[in-house]
Structure formats: structure tokens, C-alpha cells
């Protein structure tokens, strides 16, 4: 990981700043989100990878020294609390340790929840 604070503009630029094993995990997460939300667009927000749907933030994720942080909004974590008991979580964030298999099915479930919430909110605005 870079010692200087890089201002990222693309997912690949962000991913390239991490060791190969972490890059592989980041790519797996990216693919999982794309499978669940194929119309979501990639963005860099708060200097980390994010996906947007209907112009709204869907989910953010970021690599850290010992974990991947996922930021799917507090209401998501409240709704899926039973699924998250094995992970450290806080207001709006959940941490997936890098020394354990990445829970891609749980990530899929988180993104499905967010797609539904964002899509319902967009439908109400129309």
C-alpha cells in the first residue's frame, strides 16, 4: 500500500496500490457487486471504490491492513444483524478479516438488500 495519500480516480488505480492477494479479493468483491447490480456504476467516493445506483450510493468498500471494510449504510447492517454476528461492525461499516475466506455470499446479500432499498426509494420519487 502506498505511503503517500493517493487521490484515486478508478477502481484499478485503487486496487493496484495493494498486494496481489488483496487485489484478488478486491476484484472478487467488485465482480460480486456487479453480478447483483449490473446497472450500478463504478465511482470513487471518499477516495474508495463505490457503486452507485439510480444516482444514489449503493455500497462502498476499502482495503485496510487486516480487513476489507464494507460500508453499506447503517439501515442495511441493522436489517442483516443476524448475518453479521461473526464480524466486527459499527455504524454503517462491517469488517471482513483478510486472514479468513471472504464471505462473498454475505456480500451478495448485503448488496441485494441495498439494491432493493435504493430501487424502492427511486421508485417513490418518480
Per-residue pLDDT reduced to its tens digit, 99-113: 999 999 999 999 999
For range 53-66, the mean pLDDT: 95
Q: Label residue 61 by pLDDT band (50, 70, 90).
A: very high
Residues 94, 102: contact at Cβ < 8 Å?
no
Percent of the chain whose pLDDT exceeds 70: 96
**Mean pLDDT score, 21-47:** 97
Q: What is the mean pLDDT of residues 26-54?
A: 97
Domains located in the chain, CATH noted: 11-115 (3.90.1150.200)
Residue 6 C-alpha cell reads as 493517493
- Percent of the chain past pLDDT 90, that is, above it, reads 84
Dihedral sign computed on CA atoms, order 103, 105, 109, 114:
positive
Amino acid at each position: 500500500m502506498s505511503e503517500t495519500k493517493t487521490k484515486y480516480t478508478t477502481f484499478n488505480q485503487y486496487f493496484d496500490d495493494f498486494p496481489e492477494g488483496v487485489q484478488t479479493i478486491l476484484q472478487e468483491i467488485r465482480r460480486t457487486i456487479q453480478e447483483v447490480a449490473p446497472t450500478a456504476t463504478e465511482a470513487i467516493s471518499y477516495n474508495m471504490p463505490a457503486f452507485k445506483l439510480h444516482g444514489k450510493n449503493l455500497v462502498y468498500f476499502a482495503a485496510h491492513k487486516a480487513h476489507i471494510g464494507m460500508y453499506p449504510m447503517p439501515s442495511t447492517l441493522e436489517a442483516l444483524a443476524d448475518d453479521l454476528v461473526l464480524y466486527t461492525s459499527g455504524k454503517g461499516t462491517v469488517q471482513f478479516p483478510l486472514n479468513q475466506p471472504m464471505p462473498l455470499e454475505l456480500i451478495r446479500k448485503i448488496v441485494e438488500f441495498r439494491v432493493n432499498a435504493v430501487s424502492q426509494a427511486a421508485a417513490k420519487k418518480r
